[in-house]
Amino acid sequence: MKPKKSFKNILSGCVTLDSLMGNGFPQGTTVAVYAESGIGKTILSAQLALSCMKNLKKDVVIIETEGNRFQDYIELLMKFKDRWGLDKDEIIERLHFYQIINSFEEKSKSMVQLLELVGYSVKIEQSKKGDKYSITFNECKPKLKVEDLKKSGLLIIDSLTEPIKSTIGHKSQNLPARSELISRLFARLISIAIEFELAVVINHHSSINPMNLFGRDFGKPYGGDEILYNSKYILCIINSDMAARAKYGKTARRVMLLKHPFNATTGELFPVNLKVDYGFTDEE
């Protein structure tokens, strides 16, 4: 019999966020974090990365899909280093950075590259009209380095939205293909999370609904129901309202736990502060 895994929680340092998640962001499972652009998804990821390095003494794997460079992430992490008592050399040593981006001639789409990281070779074919996709999966050697995973306590995908958009898009006739890509990815990520005792945090953009007021649907991340079904935890970050601004000013945000694997969620929004060069906090 294999020994039981020793899963821990990664504390963000924001009591409101950590309490919503059940005393931190848990290892051995997947957490979806979604919000509009510029609201703080990547900053929250940075907090969790530094907390993992400091408190768990573990490395962090970042899979970047939106064109940010390694040095951009280092610059971001350095803004919060004093909060966690880390220096630049330690941060660089503990960060394993993978970049996924469409090739210039689109010979390798980003979703295909992402699935190759977790051990799937994917062939995507278009119909003669070019409006429908069919997908073939084969097992391959994962391009994620096992030695990186063994040393790490956290894996971040920032974000899944760009690979979905650029590879499949949102047309209704391609929903089955999109669903299969997402399901395969999440199944493999859960396996990785459990085997290597990792918290897997996946960032998503909010979906855009032209029929909705202001064009935003805060109930779903881009990618639709498959994201909701396959994520074990779902955390939403949205902009402030008058009550939140009264407490924290212009840096106020609100957070909502949309899904928890064991506990019923209420849909209640809680105010938090996104403090400049400090991150999410309950402090004013």
Residue 213 binned pLDDT confidence (cut-offs 50, 70, 90): very low
pLDDT at residue 255 is higher than 50? yes
pLDDT in tens, 52-74: 999 999 999 999 999 999 999 99
pLDDT at position 215 is 46
Q: What value does the mean pLDDT take over residues 136-142?
A: 97
Share of the chain above pLDDT 90, in %: 71
CATH number for position 100: 3.40.50.300
Domain count, the chain: 1
User: How far is residue 92 from each of residues 33, 47, 50, 180, measured CA to CA in Å?
Assistant: 24, 15, 11, 35
Q: Is residue 3 part of a domain?
A: no
Mean of the pLDDT values across residues 183-199? 97
- DSSP symbols for 177-242: HHHHHHHHHHHHHHHHHHHTT-EEEEEEEEEE-TTSGGGEEEEEETTTHHHHHH-SEEEEEEE--H
Hunting for tokens 């050697």 — which residue is that?
141
Averaged pLDDT, 141-150? 98
Q: Is the confidence at residue 211, as pLDDT, over 80?
A: no
Q: How many Cβ atoms from other residues are within 10 Å of residue 86's Cβ?
A: 17
Which residue type sits at 106?
Answer: E
DSSP string across 103-151: -TTSSS-HHHHHHHHTTEEEEEEE-TTSS-EEEEEEE---SS-HHHHHH
pLDDT above 70: residue 208? no
* Three-class SS state of 196: coil
Does residue 107 surpass a pLDDT of 70?
Answer: no
pLDDT at residue 220 in the model: 73
In a domain, 59, yes or no: yes
pTM comes to: 0.93
Range of the domain at 70: 16-281
Residue 5 lies in a domain: no
Largest CA distance in the chain: 58
Residue 10 within a domain: no
User: In the prediction, which pLDDT does 219 show?
Assistant: 54
Q: What is the mean pLDDT of residues 175-186?
A: 92
8-55: pLDDT as tens digits = 999 999 999 999 999 999 999 999 999 998 999 999 999 999 999 999
* pLDDT value, residue 76: 96
**Cα(254)–Cα(28) distance, rounded to whole angstroms?**
26
